Copies of this chain bind each other. A is one copy, B any other.
Amino acid sequence: MTPEEFRTNGHKVIDWVADYLENIEQYPVKSQVKPGDISATIADHPPEIGEPFEELLLDVQQKILPGITHWQHPNFHAYFNANNSHASILAELITAAIGAQCMIWETSPAAAELEEKMMNWLKELTGLPADWHGVIQDTASTGTLVSILTAREKATHFNVNNHGFSNEKLRVYCSAQTHSSIDKAIKISGIGLTNLVKIPVDQQLAMVPHLLEKAIQDDLSSGFIPCCIVTTLGTTSTTAMDPLDEISDIALKYGIWHHVDAAYAGTAFILPEYRHFIKGIEKADTYLFNPHKWMFTNFDCTAYYVKDKEALIQTFEILPEYLKTGTRGKVNDYRDWGIQLGRRFRALKLWFVIREYGASGIRTSIKEHIELAKWLEYKVIEHPDFEMVADRTLSLVVFRYCKEIDDTKNDAINEAILAKINKSGKAYITHTKVNNRYVLRVVTGQTNVKIQHIEKLWAMIQESSKSI
């Protein structure tokens, strides 16, 4: 592709993207293909000779889009959202064009310095302690792993890093509702699943602090080393909020590293009226949330914060000859703040999103999303055939059809409602289990979701329940 052709093709792609986003509601939200359908349309072997760009773009439309579940469709209510926005998409284009490798300050000074600023902006926007240190990780999975590894090293005086485990019996604590990425991190870090202590939850599905303390005391008397507590603000199933302030006090009392995972919920703390959920955060050690979920910023972009940055750096630092530079100590070399050496220029999209929306624009959108969830919650509560299953804390509504006396029948009907909605292509919802019952989850957090989308969804849910 010559530079002139790139310019022409680039304009074509922009028009394709603009058309795609404008017409996104015409696509089925959840892809309707079966396993192998897309694969059958893709050549088995690479072409020997280059192909015209027009064919590539045509193939995206004809071969790829049928297999895409449209995460940017306003009726995407599944999992948690992974939002983008106009400004974020254009920032990603610039990032791809510059193609800078941001492993250390020297390889991309602007990326390192903008990252530090953007992490400070996010602290200010969401009410985090001003003296904490931020870094962009790719995902909450990675951020949690990074925190647990730092905790492991602090607890063993950096002995595991240097010599491996030698009979240290470390224990990590989280609630029974915590995200599976904690399990994964416990495995990766060599601590082992049986040493992940899952603390029971209350009726709101939040961790019970006195049971946490009891577990710690039991472990101490059995010779275990409590190494890390993970508090979740906004669990994946129901956005339950663990009581951070009380848990922080327990962590402090026993001198245990304390990580706070607010992957989805963290964006809501841009609204001061929700900051009671992070009361006590200054007593914790690390914290993360995902602007790539609810803050209109393309995946991947996890904002990870640490109080003691030296502990973090000491856990991950490497310094081979080919990476030695003269700026050591004067700047942030983010390679030493996490697992990967290579890093994309991810601060740019945050800069674009925050400046394009402004703080007030983000607050307005988040508030609107929460209002939509409240609307749906109200409809569920007032409907005789449906009931709320867990407290709505933010923009997730967890509920179920409950008309039948036999709950097994209710389960089957909820499952059938979900299948019908998702098969219709008009909306996409997912499920979870609460008290071992099959229940529906509806997230109202997509960038462009409006009341008409939730009205349409609610009408479909009611209708589906009647026709089953």
Contact = CB atoms under 8 A, between A and B. Distances in A.
A13 interface: yes
A322 B80 CA distance: 11
A121 interface: yes
A322 B355 contact: no
Contacts of A211: none
A162 B193 contact: yes
Nearest to A166: B167
A76 B166 CA distance: 45
A355 B96 contact: no
Contacts of A190: 152, 160, 164-165, 189-191
Contacts of A223: none
A190 B165 CA distance: 6
Q: Chain A binding site: helix, strand, loop or mixed by DSSP?
A: helix
A124 B160 CA distance: 41
Contacts of A72: 97-99
Interface string A1-25: 1010111011101111110111000
Contacts of A425: none
B124 A101 contact: no
A461 interface: no
A104 to B, nearest CB: 10
A227 to B, nearest CB: 11
Nearest to A120: B44
Contacts of A359: 46-48
A318 interface: yes
A129 interface: no
Contacts of A5: 86
A1 B441 contact: no
A342 interface: yes
Central interface residue in A113, A323, A348, by most chain B CB within 10 Å: A113
B88 A45 contact: no
Contact of A318 (B39, B79, B183, B318): B183
A42 interface: yes
A18 B14 contact: no
A42 B120 CA distance: 12
B93 A96 contact: yes
A67 interface: yes
A97 B17 contact: yes
B164 A344 contact: no
Contacts of A42: 113-114, 117, 351
A340 interface: yes
Contact of A341 (B141, B188, B316): B141
B46 A21 contact: no
B187 A188 contact: no
Interface stretch (A275-283, A381-389, A429-437): A429-437
Contacts of A92: 92-93, 95-96
A371 interface: no
A139 B90 CA distance: 24
A107 interface: yes
Contacts of A292: 342
A49 interface: yes
A321 interface: yes
Interface string A160-192: 111111110110000000011101100111111
A64 B192 contact: no
Given A7-B18, A116-B39, A342 B96 contact: no
A71 B47 contact: no
Given A17-B94, A164-B170, 5 more contacts: A7-B15, A11-B14, A36-B113, A68-B100, A322-B431
- Interchain residue pairs A-B with the least CB separation, the first 8: A190-B190, A164-B192, A67-B110, A165-B165, A92-B96, A10-B14, A50-B358, A84-B99
21 contacts: A5-B86, A7-B14, A13-B90, A13-B94, A31-B109, A38-B109, A44-B117, A47-B359, A48-B358, A65-B110, A67-B110, A68-B111, A72-B99, A93-B93, A140-B341, A141-B340, A162-B187, A164-B170, A184-B341, A299-B342, A339-B339
